[in-house]
Amino acid sequence: MPEFMELKRETMVHPEGVLKDVFGLPSFRGQQGDIIRHVVDGGDAVVLLPTGAGKSLCYQIPALCREGVGIVVSPLIALMRDQVEALRQSGVRAAALNSTLTPEEAQAIRIELAAGRLDLLYVTPERLVSDGFMGLLSRLQPALFAIDEAHCISQWGHDFRPEYLQLAMLKERFPGVPRLALTATADPQTRDDLIHRLQLDDARVFSASFDRPNIRYTIVRKDNAKTQLKEFLRAHKDASGIVYCLSRKKVEETAEWLTAQGIKALPYHAGLDRSVRDANQDAFLKDEGPVLVATIAFGMGIDKPDVRFVAHLDLPSSIEAYYQETGRAGRDGLPSDAWMAYGMGDLTLRRRMIDEAASPEDVKQVERAKLDALLGVCETTACRRQTLLAHFGEHHAGGCGNCDTCLSPSETWDGTEAARKALSAIYRTGQRFGAGHVIDVLRGNKTEKVERFGHDGLPTFGVGKDIDVKGWQSVFRQLAARGIIAADHAAFGALKLEEKARPILQGQEPVEFRRDLAPTGRRRQAKGGDIEISASPEDEALFQALRSERLRLAREQGVPPFVILHDTSLREMARRKPSALDEMTDIPGVGGAKIARYGEAFLAVVAQHG
């Protein structure tokens, strides 16, 4: 076992004392204080808070305040590793038991555990419920059980793990030991299900808004996705971020293309060799490969706090998936971007994936509804945040000032006439052609195909010259997003009219369209004053110098930089410019152990910049 920095064990009684001395934080955030006191007093809790809210402290502090070791059940080994490392850096006696350990290493941890020399132990669910481990624990009377990512117990959720089901037995096996279930999963079904399955019906439920005010949502019309991505990345030079693609092939192509453009990008998908995948994930965590291009195989359990952006080159399957994936940005509360390029091809592809899947029809119905809800977010002219939160049953007044529709309000236009022309052109060409040809007909282009089918003789030929090709593409996309038309996969994407088209064709129903903005539309300045970083050039330079020092220190130990100090702490340090160790104690995130270890090194950087 490694050497631990000696913590002042006598401060370990009061949650506030632990918060300050161990974690270097001045005050609790939101309901943290209430949750922690409730658990310290022996209560069970269900903690439903969004990513980045600070759920970890809700079990870490009670574990330090109560007698005995706190047991943390976590599904992911990468997550355990980083959490344990971060705790050790703060002087906490933490360890993780999982399948990556040699038998000797595992035995060493069991000895520490049995001797009462651990404050926190992270375990996978399968380890926890193994006979040997249960026997050992029952002789110890643990301080608490924290069940992280508790939604994994629910089949409703997207990350169901059968091993989680066995955790129900903790209630009977360890009466009197407080249990906390924690998750950032928002939907009510999953919540109810996990409370029920974990037998936490009597637990106090703590929940808060799922809004992530520091994340800026932007959904652009897909034009030339790679170039658009490159343009977007320009504003995020050297920042850590994830680019999601649907397929493995696209992941690889995109990573290669970005690299060729001089942007450090690494691929991640389940088809890569395990060692390559792990190495790329590690480089990402250690800030050595800032952009990770990935399929959704990547991300669950990654709690890197300083992911500055999540970009989607393909449409996710639902709002839940979109919110979870984008939620990986900005855990540290600093301004972050959720950016997506979306076009007609995306929605056709997603519909097709549902149609062609082997699932039963009722499942498909649910999936279609979920996709439609997400398309609604893509096509809305209202505040994106308001639309997203409404999906989770949460009211937001709108006008958030930190999404694209708020920053550059998009106009609507009366598309009744255009819609009729478009639908009529689809109908008259026999519902056998894709958007490209129908647009040629509308715009009166005498292409070879138009002449071959005699479409230049149709009454709709040339009636849409007033709208350019992009404009028509936008019309077709919006008609498809609303289910007024659909692409027939069996007929190579031929557009067909749906039932909803009838009243529009007959002129009985008006249609409003969203005016697509040019991909580089000018933006208004964001509101959200408290999260905007307004560093002076000198402070910014010092911040970058502190980051380099942190990277050096992290490499020395082979750990991710964020376990040493978070960006939020370095930003504050750059602002305050401490000249002595005791001036560091008030910087959030700089606890006693961190000052002892790294104080001098950072002071030297500040002094050099003085």
How far is the C-alpha of 174 from the C-alpha of 597, rounded, in Å?
38
Judged by CB under 6 A, the stretch of 52-60, 172-180, 216-224, 576-584 that binds ligand ADP is 52-60
Bridge partners (DSSP) listed for residue 265:
291
- 186-221 core/surface letters (b: 16 or more CB in 10 A; e: else): bbeebbebbbebbbbeebeebeeebbbbbbbbbbbb
- As measured in angstroms, the least distance from the Cβ of 368 to ligand ADP is 31
Q: Closer CB to ligand ADP, residue 306 or residue 539?
A: 306
- As measured in angstroms, the least distance from the Cβ of 180 to ligand ADP is 12
- As measured in angstroms, the least distance from the Cβ of 544 to ligand ADP is 20
Contact set for ligand ADP, span 551-570 (CB under 6 A): 566
Judged by CB under 5 A, the stretch of 39-47, 291-299, 339-347, 398-406 that binds Zn ion is 398-406
241 makes contact, choosing from ligand ADP, Zn ion, none, with CB < 5 to 8 Å by partner type, with none
How many residues form the binding site for ligand ADP (CB under 6 A)? 19
Residue 406 makes contact with Zn ion by CB under 5 A? yes
Residue 53 makes contact with ligand ADP by CB under 6 A? yes
Among residues 400, 422, 435, 542, which is the contact residue for Zn ion, using CB under 5 A? 400
Cα four-point dihedral sign 308, 311, 317, 319 = positive
**Torsion-angle region of 446 (φ positive above 0: left; ψ -120 to 50: alpha; else: beta):** beta
Rg (CA), the chain: 27
Residue 55 makes contact with ligand ADP by CB under 6 A? yes
* Window 196-235: contact mask with ligand ADP (x via CB under 6 A): ----------------------------------------
Contact set for Zn ion, span 348-387 (CB under 5 A): 383, 385
177 makes contact, choosing from ligand ADP, Zn ion, none, with CB < 5 to 8 Å by partner type, with none
Output the six-digit token pair for 32: 């943290």
Q: Closer CB to Zn ion, residue 83 or residue 402?
A: 402
Q: Closer CB to ligand ADP, residue 251 or residue 329?
A: 329
How far is the C-alpha of 428 from the C-alpha of 211, rounded, in Å?
47
- As measured in angstroms, the least distance from the Cβ of 28 to ligand ADP is 5
403 makes contact, choosing from ligand ADP, Zn ion, none, with CB < 5 to 8 Å by partner type, with Zn ion
Q: Where are the beta strands (DSSP E) in 13-151?
A: 45-48, 70-73, 94-97, 120-123, 144-147
* C-beta nearest to ligand ADP: residue: 54
Residue 35 makes contact with Zn ion by CB under 5 A? no
Please list the alpha-helical segments (H only) found in 175-291. Answer: 188-197, 225-234, 248-260, 274-285
57 makes contact, choosing from Zn ion, ligand ADP, none, with CB < 5 to 8 Å by partner type, with ligand ADP
Q: Closer CB to ligand ADP, residue 461 or residue 543?
A: 543
- As measured in angstroms, the least distance from the Cβ of 482 to ligand ADP is 35
**Torsion-angle region of 6 (φ positive above 0: left; ψ -120 to 50: alpha; else: beta):** beta
How far is the C-alpha of 261 from the C-alpha of 243, rounded, in Å?
15
Contact set for ligand ADP, span 575-604 (CB under 6 A): 588-589
Residue 306 makes contact with ligand ADP by CB under 6 A? no
Query: What is the Cβ-side half-sphere exposure of residue 381, based on CA atoms within 13 angstroms?
Result: 12
Q: Closer CB to ligand ADP, residue 123 or residue 344?
A: 123
Residue 305 makes contact with ligand ADP by CB under 6 A? yes
How far is the C-alpha of 429 from the C-alpha of 454, rounded, in Å?
10
Residue type, 223: D
Judged by CB under 5 A, the stretch of 38-46, 187-195, 395-403, 594-602 that binds Zn ion is 395-403
Please list the alpha-helical segments (H only) found in 261-411. Answer: 274-285, 319-326, 344-356, 361-379, 384-391, 404-407
Residue 215 makes contact with Zn ion by CB under 5 A? no
Length of the chain: 610
332 makes contact, choosing from Zn ion, ligand ADP, none, with CB < 5 to 8 Å by partner type, with ligand ADP
For residue 310, the Cα-to-chain-centroid distance in whole angstroms is 7
How many residues form the binding site for Zn ion (CB under 5 A)? 5
Closest CA to 181 of 212, 156, 202, 211: 202
Q: Closer CB to ligand ADP, residue 332 or residue 346?
A: 332
Among residues 45, 46, 57, 97, which is the contact residue for ligand ADP, using CB under 6 A? 57
Q: Closer CB to ligand ADP, residue 32 or residue 89?
A: 32
Instruction: Please work out, in degrees rounded to the nearest 5, the angle formed at the alpha carbon of residue 107 by the alpha carbons of 101 and 112.
Output: 110
Residue 294 makes contact with Zn ion by CB under 5 A? no
Distances (CA, A) of 71 to 74, 91, 114, 304, 403: 10, 17, 13, 22, 40
| Segment (H or E) for 126 | helix 125-128
Compute the CA torsion angle 464, 465, 466, 468 (nearest 10 deg): 100
83 makes contact, choosing from Zn ion, ligand ADP, none, with CB < 5 to 8 Å by partner type, with none
Q: Closer CB to ligand ADP, residue 392 or residue 453?
A: 392
377 makes contact, choosing from Zn ion, ligand ADP, none, with CB < 5 to 8 Å by partner type, with none
Output the six-digit token pair for 457: 């003789």
Closest CA to 90 of 6, 2, 1: 6
Q: Catalog residues that contact Zn ion under the rule CB under 5 A.
A: 383, 385, 400, 403, 406
Q: Catalog residues that contact ligand ADP under the rule CB under 6 A.
A: 25, 28-29, 32, 49, 51-57, 303, 305, 331-332, 566, 588-589
